[in-house]
């Protein structure tokens, strides 16, 4: 359970969030995007605040921006300028925990042909892989946490490499603070399978809307390490095909491939290292079904990284990871809903001299259950509360529980 010393704080925070939301309702907060310049410019925003117990030293909810997804203040402003019928400029600026604002998205959208569902987008663009990062999830997330495949930090890094299987196995369950002998030797956080907190830079083509939509992109970074500039001279190719065969049902498949290790890290490899460019390959399947008061979503993400073999015991084969989650939401009334998510992240096995020489998953498997509910104080103000439980096959600690509350406002 949550540390008893923190229970009064969590309870008081939940009460404060609900009181604040109730008062906000009386003041009639803006509830729709702001239009400027005769409708050519549309500005919208989202503000969310989450509170929970401290996640250290387990860091189960740590993100690649080194914040806990359950202890997070986030503010975002999104603007769209449409100077012509088939031309638009879109930007999204965000801050987390009052850090320096960063550009989350900034891209140009061109629709070459009138009457045809074809878009070309260039800049820091929306993802072409998977379902979770493509949605406005501060608004649409039925719980507070993020799926493990999109948030949990593995023990792989883009700027540093292990020299042997023992180097990798020694870091199991320590994705928030990883250190390797090749490349940058400073202890830093690892990468997730797919980053939900950063978008990549490149060119994207989207064709179709319903019942079939196809998206493809060429970007400078990879799913686990999105970039604004190229760090290795390579590019990632990604794509997604989505179908809506019937009302309320969506099925999508995705794939991506690209080099994920920086030029500095590969340049530090000794001459005895095996040849080949370290790459990340990924495949995903997602589905969504809604009917009446029910909404159910699920996704499976498979990611595979290649790592050069340097010293004995060598890293043989690719390092695989499989993340799978399913979530559901049930609306009890127009204002009240119940929700839950079940989540697991597993890893392929690797043999070294550690753990008695037995083949062992190269990172510690993680399982998460999260359940709770929400209350719409206003149409655009929702208060949420959840209980989250985590298990991990390695690292310290191996189990953590959290009670979390969140308030989200958007216009």
CB–CB of 159/399 below 8 Å? no
Q: Superfamily assignment of 7-410 in CATH?
A: Porin (2.40.160.10)
Least Cα distance to 277 among 285, 287, 267, 286 occurs for 267
pLDDT at 11: 46
Measured CA to CA, the distance from residue 96 to residue 144 in angstroms comes to: 15
CA dihedral 64, 67, 73, 76 (to 10 degrees): -10
CA dihedral 182, 62, 216, 222 (to 10 degrees): -10
For the chain, helix (H) and strand (E) counts, in that order, are 5, 21
Least Cα distance to 246 among 288, 215, 217 occurs for 288
Residue pLDDT, tens place only, 131-162? 998 775 667 899 999 999 999 999 999 999 99
Domain limits of the chain?
7-410
pLDDT at 28: 58
Q: Which residues of the chain are modeled with pLDDT < 50?
A: 1-14, 17, 24-26
Residue pLDDT, tens place only, 206-232? 999 889 999 999 999 999 999 999 989
Measured CA to CA, the distance from residue 320 to residue 315 in angstroms comes to: 12
pLDDT at 133: 84
Say what the pTM is: 0.91
Torsional class of 248: left (φ above 0), alpha (ψ -120 to 50), beta (otherwise): left
Q: Of how many residues is the chain composed?
A: 411
CB–CB of 240/129 below 8 Å? yes
Beta partners for residue 103, in sequence order:
93
Measured CA to CA, the distance from residue 190 to residue 174 in angstroms comes to: 8
């Amino acid at each position: 359970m949550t540390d008893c010393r923190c229970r009064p704080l969590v309870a008081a925070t939940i009460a404060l969030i609900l009181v604040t939301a109730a008062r906000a309702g009386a003041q009639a907060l803006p509830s729709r995007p702001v239009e400027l310049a005769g409708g050519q410019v549309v500005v919208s925003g989202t503000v969310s605040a989450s509170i929970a117990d401290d996640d250290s030293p387990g860091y189960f909810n740590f993100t690649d921006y080194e914040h806990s997804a359950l202890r997070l203040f986030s503010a975002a402003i999104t603007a769209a300028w449409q100077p012509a019928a088939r031309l638009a400029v879109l930007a999204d600026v965000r801050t987390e925990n009052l850090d320096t604002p960063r550009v989350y998205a900034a891209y140009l959208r061109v629709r070459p042909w009138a009457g045809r569902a074809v878009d070309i987008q260039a800049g820091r663009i929306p993802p072409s892989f998977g379902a979770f990062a493509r949605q406005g999830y501060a608004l649409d997330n039925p719980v507070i946490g993020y799926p493990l495949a999109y948030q949990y930090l593995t023990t792989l890094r883009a700027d540093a490499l292990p020299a042997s299987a023992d180097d990798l196995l020694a870091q199991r369950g320590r994705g928030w603070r990883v250190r390797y002998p090749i490349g940058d030797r400073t202890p830093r956080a690892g990468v997730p399978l797919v980053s939900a907190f950063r978008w990549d830079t490149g060119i994207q083509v989207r064709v179709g809307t319903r019942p079939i939509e196809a998206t493809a992109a060429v970007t400078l970074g990879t799913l686990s390490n999105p970039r604004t500039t190229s760090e290795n001279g390579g590019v990632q190719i990604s794509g997604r095909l989505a179908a809506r065969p019937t009302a309320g049902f969506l099925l999508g498949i995705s794939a991506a491939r690209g080099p994920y290790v920086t030029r500095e890290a590969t340049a530090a490899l000794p001459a005895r290292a095996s040849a080949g460019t370290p790459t990340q390959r990924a495949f995903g399947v997602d589905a969504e079904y809604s009917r009446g008061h029910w909404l159910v979503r699920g996704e499976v993400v498979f990611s595979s990284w290649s790592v050069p073999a340097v010293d004995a015991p060598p890293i043989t084969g690719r390092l695989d990871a499989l993340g799978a989650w399913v979530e559901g939401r049930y609306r009890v009334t127009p204002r009240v809903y119940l929700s839950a998510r079940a989540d697991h992240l597993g890893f392929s096995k690797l043999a070294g001299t550690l753990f008695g020489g037995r083949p062992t998953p190269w990172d510690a498997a993680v399982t998460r259950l999260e359940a709770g509910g929400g209350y719409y104080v206003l149409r655009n103000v929702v208060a949420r509360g959840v209980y989250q439980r985590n298990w991990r096959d390695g690292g310290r600690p191996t189990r953590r529980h959290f009670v979390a509350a969140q308030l989200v406002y958007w216009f």
